Amino acid sequence: MNNEEDVGQVSVVIKSGMAENITYEYEIGKFITEILSSCIDVSIFPRCIIEVVLQIIQSDGSLLSCLLHAAVAALMDAGVDLLYLPVATTCLVRTTIAGNNKKINNNIWLDPTSAEEQEERDSSILVLVNEQRKPDSILGSHTVGPGVSLDELLACVQISSKACSAIPAFWRLAMEQKLNRESQTLWSR
């Protein structure tokens, strides 16, 4: 008999040390919690809370994507089974406007730096979270700025689905290198 209180929960806490960002930290913490809750089978952790604490030391842009990837890396390192790998891509949608208030050109930049994000304050920053095996399906999105049109959203989805295959390949390489280092250290004595 499985009661709802017997099922585990996921909690993400974000700390940056800056008092003015408490609301934003809470908001992105809830966003990442929702994404991670959907990719972890919490029923195998009865009456447990899987808490991931993410400390922001320095931000050079694409913060939300970086935080999600850090949380996934921490869960993989801790040996938590994931149903799938969530992969985040940050898209900066920059719209060039002519003198007569007509949109001329939309540029989409992947993983912008903080300088690019600050420079393009009137643009939208869209974070798309895809599943590794189904890159066309969107698990979540977070928009900062005035918003994007449907065409811009579809262009971001198309670009991010192409980019999301590189991130799990990097994770695999990083985990293999970590395991090789650990095995050499463990058996070298």
How far apart, in whole angstroms, are the C-alpha atoms of residue 180 and residue 171?
14
Half-sphere exposure of 49 (CA within 13 A, CB side): 7
Neighbours of 146 (CB within 10 A): 10
How far is the CA of 129 from the CAs of 74, 123, 177, 182, in angstroms?
17, 20, 26, 31
From the CA atom positions of the chain, what is the Rg in Å? 19
Q: How confident is the model at residue 1 (pLDDT cuts 50, 70, 90)?
A: very low
- Domain-located, residue 187: no
Alpha carbon dihedral 35, 40, 42, 43, in 10-degree steps, equals 130
Q: How confident is the model at residue 188 (pLDDT cuts 50, 70, 90)?
A: low
What is residue 132's predicted lDDT score, i.e. its pLDDT?
58
- Domain-located, residue 102: yes
Residue type, 65: S
pLDDT tens-digit readout, 130-152: 665 665 566 777 777 777 778 88
CATH number at residue 11: 3.30.230.70
- Domain-located, residue 9: yes
- Domain-located, residue 174: yes
CB 170 within 8 A of CB 88: no
Q: Can you give the residue range of the structural domain that contains 68?
A: 4-182
Residue type, 66: C
pLDDT tens-digit readout, 73-124: 888 888 888 888 888 888 888 766 666 666 556 778 888 888 887 777 555 6
Neighbours of 158 (CB within 10 A): 13
Which range has highest mean pLDDT (28-37, 58-67, 141-150, 156-165)?
A: 28-37
What's the number of domains the chain is made of?
1
pTM: 0.78
Q: How confident is the model at residue 71 (pLDDT cuts 50, 70, 90)?
A: very high
